[in-house]
Amino acid sequence: MLFSDTLWFSSSVLSAAATEQSDGENKAPSPRATNGQPFPWDKMRLPETVWPLHYDLFIHPNLTTLDFTGTVQIQLEVLQDTSVIILHSRDLRISKAALLESSRILPLQVLEYPEFQLVALQADGVTFTQGSKCAVYLEFAANLSESFHGFYKSTYRTSQGEVRVVASTQFEATSARGAFPCFDEPAFKANFSVRIRREARHISLSNMPKVKTVELSSGLLDDYFDMSVKMSTYLLAFIVSDFLSISKMSQHGVKISVYAVPEKIDQAEFALEAAVRLLDFYEDYFDIPYPLPKQDLAAIPDFQSGAMENWGLTTYRESSLLFDPKKSSASDKLGITMIIAHELAHQWFGNLVTMQWWNDLWLNEGFAKFMEFVSVNITNPELQVEDYFLGKCFGAMKVDSLSSSHPVSTAVENPAQIEEMFDDVSYEKGACILNMLRDYLTPEAFKIGIIRYLRRYSYQNTVNAHLWDSLTGICQSDDLDEGRLKGGFCSRGKSESAASKWFSEDELDVREMMDTWTLQEGFPLISVEVKGREVRLSQERYLKSEDPTQTSGFLWQVPLTYITSRSPTIHRFLLRTKTDVLYLPEEVEWIKFNVDMSGYYIVHYEGRGWDSIIHLLQHDHTALSRNDRASLTNNIFQLVSIGKVPLDKALDLSLYLSSETEIMPVIQGLYELVPLYKLMEKRDMEELENQMKGYIVDLFQDLIDRQTWTDDGSVSERMLRGHLLMFACVRRYPPCVRTATELFRQWKESDGNMSLPNDVSMAVFAVGARTEEGWDFLFEKYRHSLYISVKSRIKSALSISPLSHKLKWMMEQSLLGEVMKTQDLPYVVMMVSKNPKGYKHGWDFLRDNWGTLVKKFDLGSHSISNMVIGVTNQYSTREMLEEVRTFFNSLTKETGAELRCLQQSLESIEENIRWMDKNLPLLQGWLDRRGAKPGATAHTGA
């Protein structure tokens, strides 16, 4: 193993991770190379016998024959005596291998072991001796990948109908080995010198600026790129295309460019301005210069994820980068800015300082997700990003509440396990626990600690403990922060009373505290019982499973915050034990813990605690912040799931939403209430389902009626308008349907040339897509539009149509990838599966095409996980549970039998069954008492 992180076994709760590690070794009893010879290495991880120092890489892609050839010369340092060099290669045809020493060129034998994606280089009588240096030279060829990883083919169609090809890379996590033989693990950092051969009609891009172009006698051109900084293989990138670009210099002298297909380059201006602003912000915030002379942002026509942080050449989906002020919505503006902020944060977190191994992926992704909010809040205050952070925490908790969740830091070995790390736990939970720690330490102290971390470990690899150690002892002066902290955090411990149980910084072991959040899965449920001035606290793992053995042995150090009816000041209390007691200076009417949802935990108010909060919300909801109101709505419905609170009490709390106007509490209310009728849609319970739909429409009717069909207002107001009108139209609320129908008629009569308000256009399209004629018209506009944001909204509207045959056709076309992009297939499948007219088709499609899907999107990928969960997570019958389980049981290890998302899917269906069995009578009774009548609804997929 390349890392020796002793934290793995520091607690009994990690035994599951230890088991996973030993199970994941995948040791073949006696590995054999493809030629039948013994293969000299039996582990999936590379040995540490040699270390790469520098790669000279030459790549020649042919965009006509869709293949490529290449050579690589790797300078090596020998760390231990060895007779063999082991490195990675996948689906490459290696035609020549040689050892280059000062006085000779020696042919090397190549042994291949495809199961572990390894090759071995060796020669009779040759030993590489410790301390020496040498070089190996390899020639290779391969086809451009038909998937979305490695060196792959992307295509786009011009407005004249011509199909053009782009060759682009996506190497994270384990796909550099599909483009050239290399040491494809993050710890094997090296420098790269890249040369790319191309035709004159194309350009080439790589991480570094181009230093020269040489024309060959054949008419082809060789582009030579400057040597890179020391970096991991997964961050290398190159593109051959006909893209155009626009550029601008940052305040710090970095040339920033945005590249896109020629007909869309006029949609690049917004991204360029955002990137300049954000890169300047990060240089100032981290107080560490961006180390490269340029930063390119490229919009790739086919791209599986949202974006990729390749150092100096970040790549994006077109929808994640391209923006048109006349065609794009407020949601597009927020999303694009956040994605750019994420990738540019990686230039420090991930690129400059890289996790030692993929088990600590969260050190990259959790930080980048967290820094999105920090950076955009300061650089683009008008986007009001603080309204959306706690939604990330709720999303993470949804996964983290299952017994199939995993610790933030988890042992992984093979590529599928590594791919599975790119999930809500690494990203969203990682960001949420960092936000909690920042709130705990204070933003100033936290910033000093992370700057120290980045400076200490620049161009190196880290484990969890390095971060925690950098955030400990920050009041002690050193050359990184001398004079930075005056009073404030460093004096806080002295000024607080001992009764507060808030520990001063010099008493706090950050590592000990944060290990409880990263080395065990799940999160705490804090139960609060107020008796006079006494507040009794207890913690347990929040778990939706009925298995009590999976909740024992868990203990967190929880930085609690609270306010009361008598004191709006935020009080703090560090809960380090299973139970504790705090004392209030006086009795209170109510108490609210986890102020603004700054902590990654949920709270149960025992006794009359919930009653007092419900009373407060119904009579003076603005006494609490909008984040507090959203978190209360979330928490009480999560408590229903585990039997801590009856459903009717949660529904009583929801009544206050009729007075709510802020985006986060409204959206959270919809997120908790809508799934209740979505479960019923899959059970043919039309009367109760329509009663529930009617209740939700009535609850928000006043707010819906106040919405205008315009793009006026703040970003949050505009996004709320889009959500509400979309919900109302899909639920067939008559005033909404009338307006949308008329707008669609006018838009259609103008042949799509009339300008619709962007924020509400999806509601208009959704109403239009209900008819055969409207659907076909929308699809033609989808096919020919050059505006990616318009295409995205039309695609969503088409997928929630009640026209069942169209839904099947959409999935089939997305798989083919000609008129609809295959990159969008996971989204289309998920949307169709939410649609009551399409959910059976969604399951059939996933099952029937499974083999094709796992080849195209990779085992363990977020795309596969999203489809599995998205297709199944609204099932609530034992018949569907059995059908899903039978299919999953038919899979082999090679086709995904061990994927975590399969277990998560089954757990979610089991939880839905339990919920429905227990709560349907309560729901029926509550709605009857409220006099809820069936609303004007229709079977479409809201």
Binding site as annotated, residues for Zn(2+): 342, 346, 365
Residue 237 C-alpha from the chain's centroid = 21
Enter the tokens of residue 855.
């080849």
User: For residues 188-222, b (16+ Cβ closer than 10 Å) or e, as one string?
Assistant: bbbebbbbbbbeeebbbbbbbebeeeeeeeeeebb
The DSSP-derived string for 237-291 is -EEEE--EEEEEE-TTS-EEEEEE-GGGGGG-HHHHHHHHHHHHHHHHHHTS---
The DSSP-derived string for 178-228 is GTS-B--STT--BEEEEEEEE-TT-EEEESS-EEEEEE-TTS-EEEEEPPP
Long-range (24+ apart) CB contacts under 8 A made by 651-657 are: 651/923, 651/926, 652/614, 653/610, 653/613, 653/614, 653/617, 654/699, 655/618, 655/699, 656/614, 656/617, 656/618, 656/621, 657/633, 657/699, 657/700
Which residues have a catalytic role annotated?
A: 343
Enter the tokens of residue 180.
């050239």
In which residue are the tokens 């950092």 written? 189
Q: What angle do the packed helices 734-749 and 715-730 form, to 10 degrees?
A: 100
CA-nearest of 305, 306, 313 to 245 is 313
Burial of 26 (0-12, 13-18, 19+ CB in 10 A): middle
Residue 818 C-alpha from the chain's centroid = 27
Q: Could you tell me if 294 and 209 are in contact, meaning their C-beta atoms sit under 8 angstroms apart?
A: yes
Please tell me the distance from the alpha carbon of residue 617 to that of residue 638, in angstroms, as a whole number: 18
Please tell me the distance from the alpha carbon of residue 775 to that of residue 771, in angstroms, as a whole number: 6
Query: Could you give the C-alpha distances from 160 to 164, 216, 783, in angstroms and in order?
Result: 11, 32, 12
Please tell me the distance from the alpha carbon of residue 548 to that of residue 895, in angstroms, as a whole number: 32
Q: Could you tell me if 285 and 375 are in contact, meaning their C-beta atoms sit under 8 angstroms apart?
A: yes
Residues whose CB is less than 8 angstroms from the CB of residue 264 and which lie 6 or more positions away in sequence, other chains included: 299, 318, 322, 786, 788
User: For residues 769-791, b (16+ Cβ closer than 10 Å) or e, as one string?
Assistant: bbeeebbebbbebbeebbbbbbb
For residues 799, 805, 811, 813, the Cα torsion angle rounded to the nearest 10 degrees is -110
CA-nearest of 890, 834, 888 to 864 is 888
Please tell me the distance from the alpha carbon of residue 117 to that of residue 677, in angstroms, as a whole number: 47
Please tell me the distance from the alpha carbon of residue 290 to that of residue 278, in angstroms, as a whole number: 12
Burial of 740 (0-12, 13-18, 19+ CB in 10 A): buried
Please tell me the distance from the alpha carbon of residue 268 to that of residue 617, in angstroms, as a whole number: 45
Q: What angle do the packed helices 734-749 and 761-768 form, to 10 degrees?
A: 90
